[in-house]
Amino acid sequence: MVGFGAKNFNLAIYIANRPPLDDYLNLSTIQALLPEEAHNIGQATSNHWRKIFNVSAKFLFELYQEEKRFDAKFTWQDYRDTFLFQAESREALLFSPPSFEQPDTIHIVAGKTYAKQLKLAHLTWLDEHFAVSTQEPLILCPYLDYRQLSNARITQLVSLVQAIRNRNQ
């Protein structure tokens, strides 16, 4: 597994690309981001990576907010800057193909194009944006971009993750 985040994650988001910086192009393991590292990657690369981190933070903040982990003043921006894909988080952003060997892990593949490259089987389309696997705890969602994974679709993704968690309990 290659990407950013906690080594003992229980939620994995898979994307086809990685930041075009020397430190990450040759990454061969899961590396926890340091505080402010997501911001620094966004500054050093492009608006594309800033969007990926922001959309990921919005999604994860909404997901974990349901569990009442944060006080009322804590925002998705705070989540991005203090938890997103860091060692103490429960998630990972992976650049390697999905592996379903970790028990109790929910897998999210971001983007239809990447899903087609992965040749994912056993998908049931819920609408034009989301599909779920009939065999694995897997969700296919729009790419991590504001236009594709809008706030309304983030809420839908949160509901899909919660449904899988409830089914597995």
DSSP conformational letter for 95 = S
The tokens 């393991």 sit on which residue?
A: 29
Q: What is the mean pLDDT of residues 31-46?
A: 92
Domain residues for the domain of 62 are 3-168
User: 48-106, pLDDT tens digit by residue?
Assistant: 999 999 999 999 999 998 776 788 899 999 999 989 999 999 999 999 999 888 878 99
Number of separate domains in the chain: 1
Compute how many other C-beta atoms are within 10 angstroms of the C-beta atom of residue 45. Answer: 15
CA 147 → CA 3, 116, 154, distances in Å? 24, 20, 11
Q: What is the pTM of this model?
A: 0.95
User: 118-167, pLDDT tens digit by residue?
Assistant: 999 899 999 999 999 989 999 999 999 999 999 999 999 999 999 999 88
